Structure 1
Amino acid sequence: MSVAMDRALMALSLEEEDEPFEMPELPGFCSNEKNKLSLVGRTLNPECQKMSTLIWRMPGKWQKEGKCKGVALSQERFQFFFDHEHNLLDVLEKGVHTFNEWVVVVERWVEDPPDDYLQFIPLWIRISNIPINYYTKEAIMALGDLVGEVKILIFDPQKPQTQPYERVQVRFNVANPLRMSKIVKIKGGKSVTIHFNYERIQKRCFTCQRLNHEQSICPLVVKRRKDDAVARRQRIAQELELKKPVLQEDDPLFGVLNEDQVGINSVTGRPKIVKDVLDEMRQYLMLATNEDRMVREERVKSFVAAVEQDPILKRTVLRLEAPPIFSKDFNKGKGFVFSYEESKKMQVGIRQSEKLMASAIRSGAAGRWNADNISMAESEDANFGGTFRVSSGGSTVFSTSFSEPCASSGAAKGVTKKTYQRRRPPKSKRKPRPLLDSDQVEGALWDKVAGKRVEGSKKRKVESEVGSF
C-alpha cells in the first residue's frame, strides 16, 4: 500500500490547471429582472463607514423606510432594492449622498458595468470671485471644467442675482482631490484667484483635500512624519557623537579633569576647553617625572578650577575667545536717540549765553550813558559856572534837562524803559473804620454790605437802634 501511495503522489503535478466553473444560463440562476429596480453603491472611507449600520440607516435618511431594503455585497459595496421606480429616481436626484459625514457613491444598476462604474458623483459647485468682465456662459463653463465635466449650468443674465457666486453641476471623479481655488490669468497679464465651494460635502482630508481618508492617515502626513522621524534620529545620533567621552583611558588628562569640564557646551555647541589648551596640558603632564607627576596634576586641577570661577578668564583662557567689550554708552547701537537730559543742558546753556549777552549789552549801554552824562555835565558846569552838578547816585537828585534826553537815547539804543508800579495796601487796611460804642457791644455784628449791625436774629430791633443812634 505504501509503494502504491508513493507512486500516486509522485504522479501528481502542482502545475495542474484548475478549470473554471461555468454558471448555467437559466432563469433561476439570473436575477437581472430583480436588479432593474436597484441601486449599487460603495463607501469611500470604509474605516469610518460601518457597512451593517449603513444598511439599516440609509433608508431612513432617504425617507424610504419600508420602500427599499439593502444588501451588503462586501466591506465596501452594497445594493438597495426598491419597490417602485419613482422611489429609485427620487434617491438619485438627491445628488451627493453621505453616511457618517463621508461621501457614498451611488449609481443605478447596469448589467455590464463600465470601467469607471461607481467612480463619479454629481457634484454642485459654487464658483465665486469671477472677474467682472467674464460673467458669460462660456467663461463659467470653462471654470467648471477645471473641476469636472459640466452637466448643468445655472445662469440667467436677464434676472437679478443676489448671491456672489454661480452654480454648476459637474461629474466629479472621487479619486481626484477637491480643488479649493485656481489662479486664472486674464487680459493684461493680471492674475485672479477663483474660489470653489462644494455643496453637501462634509468631511474630507484637509491636507490633500481627498474624500477617501482622514487627515491623520493622509499619505502626505505619514510621509512628513517619517521624514521628521528620520531627522530626529539623525539629530539624536549627532548628539550622541557630541557626548562621546573626550578623555580616554590612555589620555594623560584621564582622571585629572572630569568629563563635564572638557565636554561640549550645550549653549554654544563648542567644547568647554579647546583642543589647543588640552594639548598644552597633556604636554605639560607628559614632560613630568614620576616624582613631579603628582605636583603637576594638582597644579592643572587647581588652575582649571580657579579659571572656571571667573567667566572672563574661562572665556579667554580655556576657550581662547576674545573678551567682551565694555562700554558706558547706554545708547550704543541704537542709532539717533533723543535724550531729554541733553536737550535740557542745551537749553540751560542757551539761556546762560543769552543772559551773558544781555548783561554785556546793558553794561555797555550804561557805560556809554554815564560817559555822555559826564561830558554834558562838564559842559554845563563850564557854561553855567558850575551852579548845578549831576549826581548818578539816586533817582531823587535833581538834574537839569537830563530826563528826556536820557530816555530818548536809551530808546534809540534798544534799552526799554521800565515803568514803576506803586504797591500799597487797600484803603480798608490803610484807614480802618473806627468802631462805635454800639458796635463794641458783645454779641453784635456789623454788616458791611447793608451798612447795619446785626445781633442774633433780632434784625428789626437792631435797625431801629442804629437809626436812633
Structure 2
Amino acid sequence: MDKALMAMSLEEEDEPFDMMDLPEYSSCERNVFSIIGRLLNPECQKMASLILDMPRKWQKYDRARGVALSVERFQFIFDTENDLDEILAKGFQTFNEWGLAIERWVDVPPADYLQFVPLWVQLRNIPVNHYTIEAITTFGDVVGQVIEVAFDPKKSQSRGFVRVLIKFDVSKPLRKSKVFNLPRGAGQATIEYFYEKVQKRCYSCHRLTHEQNVCPILVKMRQDQAINRRLGKAFEKPPQSPVLKKSDPLFGVLEEKQVGLHPILGRPCIHPEVLEGMRQYLLVVDGEERKIREERVKKSVLEAESSETSRKSILRLEPLPIIAKDPLKGKGLVFGYSSEDSSTQSERIRPNGPKLLSAAIHAADPNSKNSGDIIMQNERWFNGL
C-alpha cells in the first residue's frame, strides 16, 4: 500500500487520450439518417418516456429508435431518409406540452446547434397601409429571424392575420406584442403575435425553458431585493463591455450602436464576419490610404442601413425570406389565446353535427330517451372522420 501511494502523484498531468481514427470506432455512417434533439424543459420532460413515446407519436414505432445522450439531449435514428425528412417537416414539436429543439445530425455541430426552433407566428393588427412583404418581414423580425412569409398580396385575405415562419432563439422570451412608430406622422400600431404549436411557457418571462415557480428572472429579482435591503441602497447592474475597444481598427470609424446588439431584435446589428472583413480591409494599409478606406467603410455601412432589406442581407448576413402563396402553409394550433382561430375549445364541432362532449354525456344517461339514437349518430360521425 505504501509503495502504491508513493507511486501516485497529485502533480501528474492528466493527458488526454487519443481516440483511434478507425471505421469501427465511428458511428457516423449510422447517424446519417438521424436527428439530434434537446429537451427545452428537462424538469418537466422525462427522457425515458420521450424515447419510448415519440416513435408512437410519429407513427414510426418500428422504423425509429431513440438514444438518450444526456439528461437533456437525445437522438432518433430512422431506417429511411424519407421518415427523417417527414419528422423535420413537422416543424416545432412538443413533448409533455413543453417544446423540443430538433435538428438533423451533423458531423461537427456549429456553436448554435439546437439553440433555435422554427415557429409559425400569426401577426395581427397590421396597419392597412403596410400590407407588403417588406413591412410584414420587419414586423416578424422583432420576434425572430423571418424565414418564410405566407402571404400573397394578389389574393383575398379572409383571416385577420398574416403568418410568418421565424427562426426563434429558445433563450429569448415569446413577445406578445410590439409598438411600432409609423412613418409620416401616421401614429403608432401595436402588432400582436400568436405562436402556433406552443403549449406551455413561463407566465412571467414567457420563455420555453422553465415553469413560473422556478423562473430565473424572478429568483434574480428576489436576490437583488434582498441585497438592496441588506445594503440599504439600489443594486446597480455592471455596464456592458463595448464591442469596439481602442485597439480595434474600427474604433472611431463606426459607432458602438452600429455594431452592438440591436436593442429590439436582440441580434448583432452587424454580423461578426462582416466586422472582421472590415477590420482586415483597414489593417492592410496605412497613412492616407487608411483614411480613404475608413471613409469607404462609413459610407458603405450608412448605405446598407438605409433599408431593412439591406440591413438584413448585407449587414446581418440573414437570407431574405421565402414567399409562400398558401397563407395556411404548415398551420398549427394556437394555445392559450382567446382567438377564433385558436384551438383551445374543449369540444370539436363538425358542421351540422353534434357536440361530441355533450352528446357523450347524454348518451351515458340511461334516462335519456334518445340515448340509442345519439350513440348511433356519434358512431357514424366518427366513422366519417
Letter in 2 for 1:92: L
Tell me the SS of whatever aligns to 2:66: strand
1:203 is aligned to 2:200: yes
- The alpha-carbon distance between structure 1 residues 141 and 26, as it changes in their structure 2 partners (threshold 3 A), is same
CA–CA separation in structure 1 for the residues paired with 2:40 and 2:127: 35
Match of 2:154 in 1: 158
CA–CA separation in structure 1 for the residues paired with 2:26 and 2:176: 45
Quote how far apart the aligned CAs of 1:221 are.
2.7
CA–CA separation in structure 1 for the residues paired with 2:121 and 2:2: 71
1:98 is aligned to 2:94: yes
1:35 is aligned to 2:41: no
Summarize the alignment of residues 426-441 of structure 1 with structure 2, pairs less than 5 Å apart: none
Letter in 1 for 2:18: E
Unaligned runs of at least 5 residues, structure 1: 235-469
CA–CA separation in structure 2 for the residues paired with 1:71 and 1:6: 44
Unaligned runs of at least 5 residues, structure 2: 232-385
Letter in 1 for 2:59: Q
Match of 1:67 in 2: 63
Moved more, 127-136 or 223-232: 223-232
1:19 is aligned to 2:31: no
Quote how far apart the aligned CAs of 1:124 are.
0.5
Which of structures 1 and 2 has the larger relative contact order (alpha carbons within 8 angstroms, sep 6+)?
Answer: 2
CA–CA separation in structure 2 for the residues paired with 1:224 and 1:144: 30
Provide Cα deviations, 1:375-420, integer angstroms capped at 9, x if missing partner: xxxxxxxxxxxxxxxxxxxxxxxxxxxxxxxxxxxxxxxxxxxxxx
Summarize the alignment of residues 79-228 of structure 1 with structure 2, pairs less than 5 Å apart: 79-186=75-182, 187-188=184-185, 190-225=187-222
- The alpha-carbon distance between structure 1 residues 8 and 66, as it changes in their structure 2 partners (threshold 3 A), is closer
CA–CA separation in structure 2 for the residues paired with 1:140 and 1:60: 38
CA–CA separation in structure 2 for the residues paired with 1:12 and 1:101: 52
Summarize the alignment of residues 274-353 of structure 1 with structure 2, pairs less than 5 Å apart: none
- The alpha-carbon distance between structure 1 residues 16 and 231, as it changes in their structure 2 partners (threshold 3 A), is closer
Provide Cα deviations, 1:18-61, integer angstroms capped at 9, x if missing partner: 22111111111111110000111010111100000000001111
Letter in 2 for 1:37: F
- The alpha-carbon distance between structure 1 residues 189 and 164, as it changes in their structure 2 partners (threshold 3 A), is closer
CA–CA separation in structure 1 for the residues paired with 2:27 and 2:230: 59
Identity between Structure 1 and Structure 2 (%): 56
Provide Cα deviations, 1:202-237, integer angstroms capped at 9, x if missing partner: 000011010100001112333455577789999xxx
Letter in 1 for 2:180: V
CA–CA separation in structure 1 for the residues paired with 2:40 and 2:4: 51
1:46 is aligned to 2:26: no
Higher Rg: 1
Letter in 1 for 2:117: I
CA–CA separation in structure 1 for the residues paired with 2:228 and 2:107: 53
Letter in 2 for 1:166: V
CA–CA separation in structure 2 for the residues paired with 1:172 and 1:32: 28
CA–CA separation in structure 1 for the residues paired with 2:4 and 2:63: 59
TM-score by length of 2: 0.56
Tell me the SS of whatever aligns to 1:28: helix
CA–CA separation in structure 2 for the residues paired with 1:106 and 1:123: 12
Letter in 2 for 1:207: S
Summarize the alignment of residues 195-274 of structure 1 with structure 2, pairs less than 5 Å apart: 195-225=192-222
CA–CA separation in structure 1 for the residues paired with 2:169 and 2:181: 25
Quote how far apart the aligned CAs of 1:162 are.
0.8
Quote how far apart the aligned CAs of 1:138 are.
0.5
Provide Cα deviations, 1:325-370, integer angstroms capped at 9, x if missing partner: xxxxxxxxxxxxxxxxxxxxxxxxxxxxxxxxxxxxxxxxxxxxxx
- The alpha-carbon distance between structure 1 residues 48 and 7, as it changes in their structure 2 partners (threshold 3 A), is closer
- The alpha-carbon distance between structure 1 residues 226 and 24, as it changes in their structure 2 partners (threshold 3 A), is closer
Cα-Cα RMSD:
2.3
CA–CA separation in structure 1 for the residues paired with 2:224 and 2:28: 52
Tell me the SS of whatever aligns to 1:90: helix
